[in-house]
């Protein structure tokens, strides 16, 4: 197998079990796996087919995006000032016109954005598939792009006529949903180490599916090795009202009642969890994705990340859909995620002067390294991966590099790792996914961005003009 030696790295942040940060670092890749990590001096005797000098660069593991709706970049900056349920009901009719071509081009645009902002593994929650659109299409797009991908077979089955939020023409038959999920698992779910493709089952939300579909999806997922479960929960207070009126319980109680708590489950948002529900997540191993941009953009609230981490809940980072964010930038998400926690309600912070916050204190609700750990190791755990998220021998060769010699980073030499989010956001200069260099010197190595952007503009016009 071909080998690559990356050397003279100004700072190599491994996020390994010892949290090593290596000055003048080096990393040896053999095929799609990391063979050695150390200083340039320690690896100087290693022979490689290709040597890449990364002087002046910070290198870190590729980030893991654990919640997205990629198709939504066709409806960016729409419904800017309304509540979430109004936002959804306004956009459902447009999304209901999506076809396979729209799914493909929107996925490629989102994946390119993610990759340029440091992401090497992503999930995508595709829950609306009208006019013959298929989840296969996003999987094929990820293969074309070279992105490690967890495709979530989302679904909506409870339309307005049955008491749900989406219009009836945007929902699917539940028997078909389950049969299609079984087909996708058989076709694309690869549980081998370093796999590039896995399937997730992801009924959309408590207000768009039935309890029966939630139970059946959980049973189906658990009948296969490593198929995980994903959905939205506690994103908006209207959801709590809906769950109390329809099910007589809060959202988390509903999830528990249909078998949706466990270490194979992660939820997006989880903003309105109370203390008991945080403990329930921790005790059951249920994870959560923090989507700060969408939480702010839609005026939803502040996820209790500090308390969830302290309780032992696994938390990852997600950009969410490009109509509620409205971008797919992981460095930006990390930056806003760190800073938003510092304006969280006072109960997050120590009441004592000099404590975690308040008068005389330092606002350390979430540090830069904790935020990046969520975006790397936290995301890997949510997806059930032990082969990505940190840099060590035997791990997948997924890593990114940013050149420190650029506007915006000058003066940040004291802590170049924290600078990647505190001074950013930035684009990566180099990205390796599964050992393949997909970005070199700030440019894609095998992706025609201009052609895809032209296709994307034409697709958007076609959808909006109909």
pLDDT tens per residue across all 466 residues of the chain: 999 999 999 999 999 999 999 999 999 999 999 999 999 999 999 999 999 999 999 999 999 999 999 999 988 888 788 777 888 888 888 888 889 999 999 999 999 999 999 999 999 999 988 778 899 999 999 999 999 999 999 999 998 898 888 888 888 999 999 999 999 999 999 999 999 999 999 999 998 999 999 999 999 999 999 999 999 999 988 888 999 999 999 999 999 999 999 999 999 999 999 999 999 999 999 999 999 999 998 888 999 999 999 999 999 999 998 888 888 999 999 999 999 998 876 444 444 343 444 433 445 689 999 999 999 999 999 999 999 999 999 999 999 999 999 999 999 999 999 999 999 899 999 999 999 999 999 999 999 999 999 999 999 888 877 7
Best CA proximity match to 207, nearest among 244, 170, 155, 243: 243
Q: Indicate if 268 and 411 belong to the same structural domain.
A: no
Asked, for residue 451, whether it belongs to a domain, the answer is no
Where residue 402 falls (left for φ over 0; alpha for ψ -120 to 50; beta otherwise) is beta
The pLDDT value recorded for residue 132 is 80
Q: Which 3 state secondary structure label does DSSP give 345?
A: coil
Answer yes or no: are the C-beta atoms of 422 and 364 closer than 8 Å: no
Best CA proximity match to 6, nearest among 44, 46, 42, 53: 53
Bond into 369 cis (ω within 30): no
The pLDDT value recorded for residue 93 is 84
CA distance readout (Å), 151 to 68, 143, 258, 290, 336: 10, 12, 22, 19, 26
Q: Indicate if 430 and 336 belong to the same structural domain.
A: no
Give the residue from 382, 398, 426 where a domain finishes.
382
The pLDDT value recorded for residue 164 is 85
Q: Indicate if 132 and 40 belong to the same structural domain.
A: no
The pLDDT value recorded for residue 355 is 40
Asked, for residue 35, whether it belongs to a domain, the answer is yes
Asked, for residue 456, whether it belongs to a domain, the answer is no
Q: Indicate if 89 and 166 belong to the same structural domain.
A: yes
The pLDDT value recorded for residue 273 is 96
- Can you give the CATH number for the domain in which 324 is found? 3.20.20.140
Give the residue from 343, 358, 382 where a domain finishes.
382
Q: Indicate if 161 and 177 belong to the same structural domain.
A: yes
Q: Indicate if 128 and 240 belong to the same structural domain.
A: yes
Give the residue from 382, 400, 415 where a domain finishes.
382
Answer yes or no: are the C-beta atoms of 297 and 325 closer than 8 Å: yes
Asked, for residue 260, whether it belongs to a domain, the answer is yes
Counting the structural domains of the chain, the total is 2
Q: Indicate if 288 and 432 belong to the same structural domain.
A: no
The pLDDT value recorded for residue 169 is 84
Per DSSP bridges, beta strands 21-30 and 430-433 are: unpaired
* CA triple 250-256-257, angle to 5 deg: 90
Q: Indicate if 342 and 410 belong to the same structural domain.
A: no
Asked, for residue 440, whether it belongs to a domain, the answer is yes
Q: Indicate if 363 and 296 belong to the same structural domain.
A: yes
- Can you give the CATH number for the domain in which 439 is found? 2.30.40.10
Asked, for residue 46, whether it belongs to a domain, the answer is yes
* CA triple 193-106-287, angle to 5 deg: 45
Provide the residue range defining the domain that includes 400.
3-62+389-444
Task: Determine the Cα–Cα distance for residues 413 and 406; give it in Å rounded to an integer.
Answer: 12
Q: Indicate if 378 and 415 belong to the same structural domain.
A: no
Asked, for residue 344, whether it belongs to a domain, the answer is yes
Q: In degrees rounded to 5, what are phi and psi of residue 410?
A: -65, 130
Asked, for residue 9, whether it belongs to a domain, the answer is yes
Q: Indicate if 308 and 395 belong to the same structural domain.
A: no
The pLDDT value recorded for residue 166 is 86
Task: Determine the Cα–Cα distance for residues 148 and 123; give it in Å rounded to an integer.
Answer: 9
Q: Indicate if 352 and 217 belong to the same structural domain.
A: yes
């Amino acid at each position: 197998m071909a080998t690559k030696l990356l050397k003279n790295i100004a700072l190599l942040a491994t996020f390994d079990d010892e949290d090593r940060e290596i000055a003048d670092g080096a990393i040896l890749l053999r095929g799609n796996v990391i063979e050695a990590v150390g200083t340039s001096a320690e690896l100087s005797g290693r022979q490689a087919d290709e040597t890449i000098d990364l002087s002046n660069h910070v290198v870190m593991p590729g980030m893991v995006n654990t919640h997205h709706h990629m198709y939504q970049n066709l409806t960016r900056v729409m419904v800017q000032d309304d509540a979430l349920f109004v936002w959804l009901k306004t956009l459902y009719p447009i999304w209901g016109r999506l076809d396979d071509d729209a799914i493909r081009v929107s996925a490629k645009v989102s994946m390119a954005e993610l990759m340029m902002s440091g992401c090497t593994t992503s999930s995508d929650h595709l829950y609306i598939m009208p006019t013959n659109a298929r989840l296969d299409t996003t999987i094929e797009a990820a293969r074309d792009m070279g992105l490690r991908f967890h495709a979530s077979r989302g679904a909506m089955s409870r339309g307005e006529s049955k008491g749900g939020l989406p219009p009836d023409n945007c929902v699917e038959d539940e028997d078909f949903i389950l049969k299609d999920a079984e087909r996708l698992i058989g076709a694309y779910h690869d549980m081998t180490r370093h796999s590039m493709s896995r399937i997730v089952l992801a009924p959309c939300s408590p207000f768009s599916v039935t309890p029966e579909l939630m139970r059946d999806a959980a049973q189906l997922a658990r009948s296969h090795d490593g198929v995980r479960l994903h959905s939205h929960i506690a994103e908006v207070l209207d959801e709590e009202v809906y769950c109390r009126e329809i099910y007589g319980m809060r959202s988390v109680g509903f999830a528990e009642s249909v078998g949706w708590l466990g270490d194979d489950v992660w939820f997006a948002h989880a903003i309105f969890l109370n203390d008991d529900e945080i403990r329930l997540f921790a005790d059951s191993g249920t994870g959560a994705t923090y989507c700060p941009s969408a939480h702010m953009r839609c005026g939803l609230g502040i996820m209790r990340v500090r308390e969830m981490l302290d309780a032992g809940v696994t938390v990852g980072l997600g950009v969410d859909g490009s109509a509620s964010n409205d971008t797919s930038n992981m460095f930006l998400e990390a930056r806003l995620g760190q800073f938003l926690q510092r304006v969280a309600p006072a109960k997050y912070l120590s009441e004592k002067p000099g404590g975690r916050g308040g008068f005389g204190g330092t606002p350390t609700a979430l540090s830069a390294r904790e935020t990046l750990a969520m975006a790397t190791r936290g995301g890997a755990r949510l997806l059930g991966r032990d082969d990505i998220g940190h840099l060590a021998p035997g791990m997948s060769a997924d890593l990114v590099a940013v050149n420190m010699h650029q506007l915006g980073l000058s003066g940040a030499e004291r802590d170049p790792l924290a600078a990647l989010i505190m001074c950013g956001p930035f684009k990566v200069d180099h990205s390796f996914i599964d050992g393949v260099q997909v970005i070199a010197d700030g440019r894609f190595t095998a992706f025609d961005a201009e052609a895809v952007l032209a296709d994307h503009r034409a697709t958007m016009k076609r959808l909006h003009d109909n």
